[in-house]
Amino acid sequence: MRLTFLPILAVLSLCACGGGSGLEIGGPLPPAERGGIVTPVANQDYRLGPLDTITVRVFREPELSFDSLPVSLSGKISYPLLGELQVSGMSTLEVANRLSTLLNQRYLRNSSVSVSLERAANFTVTVDGEVRKPGVYQIPGARLSLVQAVALGEGVTEFAKLNEVLVIRESGGQRYVARFDLREIRAGRADDPQIQQSDIIVVGFSQASSLLRVAIGALPGVAGLFVALSQ
C-alpha cells in the first residue's frame, strides 16, 4: 500500500470528524530534501559531533579555507598550522572563535574566520506519547529507523496503541504526518521507515487497554491477567 504523507492540518480535520487518526497505515515518507543527506538547519544550537563536515572560511587566506573539512570519529578536525583540534560538542560559532584566537596568537593579525555546517551526521529526533522515556534524542550517524527511534524511548508502555504510531515531518515549509503499525514492522510484514532530522515520533494511547487495566486492578488476585489479555 502506498500513501503520500498528508499535510498535518488535513489530519487534524479528519480527527475532528470522528475517532482515530484518519490515516491509512504505511506508505513512503517525504524524501530528504538534499539527495538523502540528513542536513538540519545550520544554526548555533547545533553541536558538532563525529563524522560531521564543516566549511571554514578565513578572510583573504585561501590556504586556510576549506569547502569540506571532516570531523573525525574522535571528534577532531585536522587544521593546517594548528594540528588536531577537538570540536565535538561545540557550535560552529565556537569553532570559528577558537580558530580565530589560535591563528591570531601564532600566525595572523585580526583574522576573520567563519565556520558553517556542510553536512550533519549527528541529528536529533523527538520521541513522545506512550513510550517509557519521552524526550529529544541526539543520534550519532545519519541513519535511524522508526523501530530504533521508539527503542530510544526505552520501548512502549502497556497502554500503547501500536497501530497508531505517527511520524510528523517538516518538508519544504509544510508539516506532514503518516501513520505506521509497529507490530507489522516488527513482524517483518511492513517496511521500517527511515527517520530524518527533527522528525517527531508519537506513539498512540490505547484507551481500551487503560480501562482494562483499571478494571482488572480493582479485582484482587487477577491483576496479573492483564499481561496476557493485552498481548
- pLDDT at residue 46, as a whole number: 75
Residue listed under C-alpha cell 517538516: 170
pLDDT at 209: 57
DSSP assignment of 112-134 equals -EEEEEEE-SEEEEEEEESBSS-
Q: For 174, phi and psi rounded to 5 degrees?
A: -115, 140
120 with 196: CB under 8 angstroms? no
What residues contact residue 94 under an 8 Å CB cut-off, 6+ apart? none
Domains of the chain listed by start with CATH number: 6-29+121-226 (3.10.560.10), 53-119 (3.30.1950.10)
What is the pLDDT at residue 98?
A: 97
Beta-carbon contacts of 31 under 8 Å, excluding residues fewer than 6 positions away, are none
Compute the mean pLDDT over every residue in the chain, rounded to the nearest whole number: 77
Distance, CA of 122 to CA of 51 (rounded, Å): 8
Is the per-residue pLDDT at 118 higher than 80?
yes
Which of 83-87, 141-145, 164-168, 207-211 reaches the highest mean pLDDT?
83-87
pLDDT of residue 105 exceeding 90, the answer is yes
C-alpha gyration radius of the chain: 23
Over residues 19-26, mean pLDDT: 58
Phi, psi of 219 (to 5 degrees): -105, 115
Give CA–CA dist 8/199, Å, rounded.
13
Q: How far is CA 86 from CA 23, 42, 51, in A?
A: 46, 19, 13
Cα–Cα dist 198/139, whole Å: 11
pTM of the model: 0.54
Q: Which three cell numbers stand for residue 9?
A: 492540518
Cβ contacts of 102 within 8 Å, gap of 6 or more: 82, 85
Q: Which of 24, 2, 1, 4 is nearest to 176 (CA)?
A: 4
The arithmetic mean of pLDDT across residues 18-41, rounded, is 48
**Residues 63-85: what's their mean pLDDT?**
96
